[in-house]
Structure 1
Amino acid sequence: MDIRKLDRAAVLETLRILEQAEPEDWDRPTPCTGWTLRQLVAHMTAQHHGFAAAAAGIRTGLAAWHPGALGDDPLKTYRTAAEAALAAFAEQAVLTREFSLPEISDTRRFPATVAIGFHFLDHVVHGWDLARTLGVSLDLDEGTTEAALVIALRVPDDERRLGPDAQFRPALPTAPGAHPLDLVLTTLGRSPDWSAPARQGPSAHHD
């Protein structure tokens, strides 16, 4: 499993989806309770910057991972952050490093493959969030979603999922024979049936 190749595919898919967003879409609700599309993308942007710093061996405090403003061109701001993370992960020596990830632990450091796996899983799930928000398809092959499921199943399903700032919610029941992507979602507490209100007007997209 080439985790960097998988991560790149997931991140590029988030960009493809966001390129379909219209100006009025940035205030739409998302599967992340209480977050609009703009707030979700601000979170994703901060994650890219945080992981890029960690990949470079820079130890940052938790405040550096907090979302900031996206400005007048949120897609451009997000693209810049995503490209920074992908470039940091692509460095030849990165797989020999350990990452400091204060959102997960303020004491532990994580092997690069594990840390990039966290980033990969996050952007598979957030790619689905973006797609559902905009009413478009998520185009990831089954091998990619199966790899994400392997990582998702390792995420502890305990009291840490109950807090207001939890990254994931308690796991949900899954229908027999579910697709790997649906298993990823339910394992991390998301309902595959979630959908946003229909987009209005001629700019609306369809699957």
Structure 2
Amino acid sequence: MNPWPEIHRQRLAVADLLDDLKPADWDHPSLCDGWTVRDVAAHLTLQQLRLRDVFGLVRHWKGGMHPTIQAAARRQAAALTPAQIVADIRDTAAARRYNFGVTPVETLIDLLVHSQDIAIPLGRTHPMPPEAAAVATRRVLTMRIPPPPPSVRVVAGLHLTATDIGWSYGDGPEVRGPIAALLLVSTGRTVALPQLTGPGAALLAARSQTA
């Protein structure tokens, strides 16, 4: 799958989602622990970082990649108004640059997952295309460089089966559910656990609580 047409569509869809937010929504907690909706939205304006930009991140190193990325998102959120964040995402929708050190599929993963980080806590529905979610989930589960998220260990030894598209991955007790839910759980979003069934679902839920 060429990810760029879907990246274009997802950026426009995220911009439309953000356009519809009330002022108070921007300060609402997202699914990302310690991140507001505004932080997550600002993070999505940082999808075209070059090597020199990475050196800039290193200058603001916070002891680990996750806190460093979070700090960069907060700086961006403080520097831009909500309208500017939306405009930036929409204006760069068709751009085919991507962050140094990753692939374009990671850009797609960010859009698919972070849009849910924004929508779900606000009680909004933001559809995720199953075909794109399938590509993203397989990439998350097979990543080596950059390293996969720690949540990938939670689904290790389980057989994941999508119920809305022909897709499966892994061996072991089966866990069934929509591909969007499988992607969210594979990236540490336990809010999707109730959508999953099968012999391995209880094991997955137990692992998620102790991860």
TM-score bin (small chain): 0.5 to 0.7
Alignment counterpart, residue 84 of structure 2, candidates 56, 61, 77: 77
- CA displacement 1:20-39 (0-9 Å, x = unmatched): 21011111111100111122
Counting aligned pairs with the same residue, the percent is 20
Aligned to 1:140: 128
Flag as ranges the 4+ runs of structure 1 deviating above 6 A. none
Aligned to 1:60: 53
- CA displacement 1:60-115 (0-9 Å, x = unmatched): 334357233446973322223223543431xxxx7xxxx662xx5xxxxx6xxxx2
Distance in 2 of aligned mates of 1:71 and 1:178: 38
Give the number of aligned pairs: 161
- CA displacement 1:127-181 (0-9 Å, x = unmatched): 11111122111212211211222222223499x67xxxxxx44234577211111
Describe the shift of the 1:22–1:33 C-alpha distance in structure 2 as closer, same or farther (beyond 3 A).
same
Describe the shift of the 1:187–1:14 C-alpha distance in structure 2 as closer, same or farther (beyond 3 A).
same
1:169·1:190 contact (CA, 8 Å) conserved in 2?
no
Aligned to 1:28: 28
Alignment counterpart, residue 126 of structure 1, candidates 91, 110, 114: 114
Aligned to 1:203: none
More helix by share: 2
Describe the shift of the 1:100–1:73 C-alpha distance in structure 2 as closer, same or farther (beyond 3 A).
closer
C-alpha displacement at 1:9, in angstroms? 2.1
Distance in 2 of aligned mates of 1:72 and 1:146: 35
2:15·2:87 contact (CA, 8 Å) conserved in 1?
no
TM-score by length of 2: 0.63
Gaps spanning 5+ residues in structure 2: where? 58-68, 161-173, 194-211
Alignment counterpart, residue 151 of structure 2, candidates 145, 162, 170: 170
Describe the shift of the 1:74–1:149 C-alpha distance in structure 2 as closer, same or farther (beyond 3 A).
same
1:14·1:130 contact (CA, 8 Å) conserved in 2?
no
**Larger relative contact order (C-alpha < 8 A, sep ≥ 6)?**
1
TM-score by length of 1: 0.64
Counterpart code for 2:118: L
Q: Once superposed, what is the RMSD of the aligned Cα atoms? A: 3.1
1:21·1:134 contact (CA, 8 Å) conserved in 2?
no
Distance in 1 of aligned mates of 2:175 and 2:77: 41
Gaps spanning 5+ residues in structure 1: where? 105-109, 162-167, 195-207
- Write out aligned runs for 1:3-18 (5 A): 3-18=3-18
Aligned to 2:142: 154
